[in-house]
Structure 1
Amino acid sequence: MTPGTAPGAFARSLLRTKPVDLIVAEGGHGEGGELKRTMSLLQLTLFSVGATLGTGIFVVLGEAVPLAGPAVVLSFVLAAVTALFSALSYAELAGTIPVSGSSYSYAYATLGELVAWVCGWCLLLEYAVSVSAVAVGWGSYLNAFLDGAAGFTIPAQISNPPGEGGLVNVPAMIVVLFATALLLRGTSESAAANTVMVFLKIGVLLFFCAIAFTAFRAGNMAPFAPMGWAGISAAGSKVFFSYIGFDAASTAGEEARNPRRDLPLAIILSLAIVTAVYVLVGLAAVGAMHWTRFSLSGSEASLAQVLDSVSGRTWPSVVLSLGAVIAIASVVLTVMYGQTRILFAMSRDGLVPHVFQKVSPRRRVPVANTVIVAAFIAVLAAVVPLGRLVDATSIGTLFAFALVSVGVIVLRRTRPELPRSFRAPLYPVTPLLGVALCVYLMVGLGGVTWTVFAIWTAVGLAAYFLYGRRHSRLAAGTGGPIGGSPHE
């Protein structure tokens, strides 16, 4: 607390909200130039699909099928319904506040600066650590592809991080540099590349289904739910995290051609597409191979094991490995994009250094921001064995999801007159269920996860009070008065 500041004034300063009109008016503007609106509805939808449809489906069946049996298809639907409540809240706020900050900006407009900071800080943990972990896994799938296609693999010394048999993970650095090069070329180029990659990885998964369905046996589907509802629910919790990423379109609010119309549609459509793919792949897999064999095949080889048992050949597994390589590259690209745009929004508010909002006049992208994020992620992926720290990213995601649902309720009460291109149906039941489900999943996470979350939050609060609070544009009066209308 600043000396001489009354406790009540100090508390109000932590809860000051940024007017929605000001947030929207500032959209697209950064230091040195503006972001360029180039993304269509298709590109926005595939951005969210690209961020969601990644390694999860290639590994999650091996972990989920032993819990639910053939009823794993219902587990995917259950997880999708859980994600849907958050997606509907995201869709409403994305159409109302179409800016780059995603849940950070929504929290700033509804719950106050401190909550927004914590939300943004959690997203940094989620994005940076998750994309680093995904990049680490890229080398494994690349080796599987190279081994099957050409009979050689990259030596462990340069394909694994220290502590896992290597010195530096070169493939992880390569995929991060590949994504960085695309992002620096421009948003339209990145979106076009992601569109191609998404179609390719969906094509590979449909290829898997086509082969697996040739060996579909009705007997493999019985008993359908050997562990009952408890098993379906347990598997649903396991596969829920395969849906994280559907909100990626909301980070492109300032580069969408028609954000108020397209952002809500992109979020809902991407969730529908991913759910359809997951259910189809799950049905094909358990129909082709008895569910009891999944626990023996190893989680990371579950889909490959199905193809090997069905076809008796190795080349289908090679194609599947290629799909995993493409899927991971797409996830790295879209998640890195999302992180740079959230930092862009936080920098524009003064809460992180202004270098993150500098826009290249020629490329119309935040170049310095992208390079800094890429360097951090590349180093993290190359030399740090992430291990269970990856699990801690889930709690940050759920926290952000819950805040978005709360934000819908707050904004409906405080600014009912705002134009909303999409309204969450069955209000207030939908956002309340969204909050309840997120809290339920958070409570079920392990003690290690909560410990990491607490430490990360404490570090974030220290950063806020040492830097963010002191440099806040809203506090300085350049972003509108506390609780009032903008005055600039």
Structure 2
Amino acid sequence: MASLANQVLRRKPVVAMSAETGADTGGSELKRSIGLVQLSMFGIGATIGTGIFFVLAQAVPVAGPATLISFVVAGVVAGLTAICYAELAGAVPVSGSSYSYAYATLGEMPAMAVGACLLLEYGVSAAAVSVGWSQYLNELLNNIFGFQIPDALSQAPEQGGIINLPAVVLVCLCGVLLVRGASESAKTNAVMVTIKLLILALFVVVGLGGWNSDHFANFAPFGFSGIMSAAGIIFFSYIGLDAVSTAGEEVKNPHRNMPLAILIALVAVTGVYIAVVAVAIGAQEPSAFKDQEAGLSAILEQVTGSAWPGTLLAAGAVVSIFSVTLVVIYGQTRILFAMSRDGMIPSLFHRVNPRTMTPVHNTVVVCVLISILAGFIPINFLAEMTSIGTLVAFLVVSIGVVVLRRTAPDIPRSFKVPGYPVTPVLSVVGCLWIIKDLRPVTIYVFLVWVAVALVWYFCYGIKHSRLGRGEPAGLTTGDTA
């Protein structure tokens, strides 16, 4: 009988992953219907909007005008990791993202811990952006109709409300769209992302009219620690780069398109973030960002002295943040799909509807849980919990590149990390550096979450592991929803 150490550290061969997902044959349990443009839009759509539309209200009070540097720091770390993702996505184009990469490089128990990080990252992120969407919806309703949804129905209990109902409705709408099919979701997302980019371009152009360089005078009022703390808060703004890697089994020509889409999304996101943050701080006093809801809309109203730009931006945000929620929930369901296929969680999450070829039961469960988070938890705590989940997942991917280069040097790689091994090492260091500046309560909650996941692994996963049983990870049938 294999020792416990051998069991918990057993690795799933890359060749086996490629075979069961049809990465080299074109077949898949899920329908391959997503092309390069749609996949790139997945990355851009999940990233731009997650932070830029509302996280400045949390970041600027912590770092002041130096929030601009915080975005650069987070972007550099995310960029280093995105390059690592590009190599692994090209070599192991499956649905599990860094969970699957960890299974191939570090072993089964580490993969379970990484899977827990991803579930935290995606679930909490979807809830956070849903809460942000609720803020912009209220701004839009106020501008057009002169009324807002009462606080009792648009705020979490901790903020004086009963439930954030708009956030719950958004999650449910995304669930309905995802159940219909991945191709339909990708097309809808592409339209929404185009609207989002046009709206942000409008913000930059109009916002420049209110530029005041005096706003940058006291550039870093809280010093280096403030810059790094803000970087930790806003790091979840780069989650979209990870979302691309969850679509591996529904992408056409995945070896080529997966790494390309990640790199395209990285360049687009970085450019847009820097432009928007610089204009936002240049147009508004840093002190005005604190607790400001629908901040970009408010800035445009101040600059123009008119309601129409703010109304247009709020409308764009309502549409575009929908796309963020859609892609992040999509990513969550595909990670659960991969974990269930491996036997780490119940087979319910692996069942696919034969007509739509989507994991319907999986999607319903995810949307119910995210709705609960979005309805009852404040946004600031959600943002930090997303950041630490993202950082740990990024860290594992960077380590995975080094491990896979040593354990499987001959597998085909459509993209290789430049500057190896310095690039993945710098990515690991950057992730650890940002993690250390997160609030202690965030780290404690995260550690408890991972501990619960490991207890689940030893009680369930290790016994049901298909790799441990030597079973093929065939499709679970019976989903007729």
**TM over 0.5, shorter chain:** yes
**Gapped regions of structure 2 (runs ≥ 5):** 474-481
Can you list the C-alpha shifts for 1:294-340, whole angstroms capped at 9, x where unaligned? 21343534423421221011222222222222232111100110010
Alpha-carbon distance in structure 2 between the residues aligned to 1:235 and 1:169? 26
Counterpart for residue 294 of structure 1: 286
**Mapping for residues 16-415 of structure 1, pairs under 5 Å:** 16-27=10-21, 34-65=29-60, 72-217=67-212, 235-289=230-284, 293-301=285-293, 302-384=295-377, 388=381, 390-415=383-408
**Contact 2:33/2:182 (<8 A) preserved:** yes
Alpha-carbon distance in structure 1 between the residues aligned to 2:219 and 2:455? 51
User: Size of the alignment, in residue pairs?
Assistant: 468
Q: Which amino acid in 2 is paired with 1:327?
A: S
Identity %: 52
Counterpart for residue 14 of structure 1: 8
SS of structure 2 residue aligned to 1:350: coil
Counterpart for residue 484 of structure 1: none
Between 1:231-240 and 1:194-203, the stretch displaced more is 231-240
Alpha-carbon distance in structure 2 between the residues aligned to 1:62 and 1:386? 11
Q: Which amino acid in 1 is paired with 2:286?
A: F
**Offset, 1:229:** 6.4
Structure whose alpha-carbon radius of gyration is higher: 1
SS of structure 2 residue aligned to 1:300: coil
RMSD: 2.4
SS of structure 2 residue aligned to 1:59: coil
**Contact 1:350/1:473 (<8 A) preserved:** yes
Can you list the C-alpha shifts for 1:36-56, whole angstroms capped at 9, x where unaligned? 111111111111111111241
Q: Which amino acid in 2 is paired with 1:155?
A: P
**Contact 1:61/1:299 (<8 A) preserved:** no
**Contact 1:405/1:434 (<8 A) preserved:** yes
SS of structure 2 residue aligned to 1:213: helix
**Contact 1:46/1:195 (<8 A) preserved:** yes
Change (3 A) 1:134 1:224: closer
Alpha-carbon distance in structure 2 between the residues aligned to 1:25 and 1:401? 26
Counterpart for residue 478 of structure 2: none
Alpha-carbon distance in structure 2 between the residues aligned to 1:297 and 1:13? 51
Alpha-carbon distance in structure 1 between the residues aligned to 2:206 and 2:269? 20
SS of structure 2 residue aligned to 1:38: coil
Change (3 A) 1:413 1:36: same
Change (3 A) 1:392 1:19: same
Counterpart for residue 470 of structure 2: 477
Alpha-carbon distance in structure 2 between the residues aligned to 1:220 and 1:446? 28
**Offset, 1:388:** 2.5
**Contact 2:228/2:434 (<8 A) preserved:** no
**Offset, 1:379:** 2.9
Alpha-carbon distance in structure 1 between the residues aligned to 2:230 and 2:156? 30
Alpha-carbon distance in structure 1 between the residues aligned to 2:226 and 2:448? 33
Q: Which amino acid in 2 is paired with 1:296?
A: A
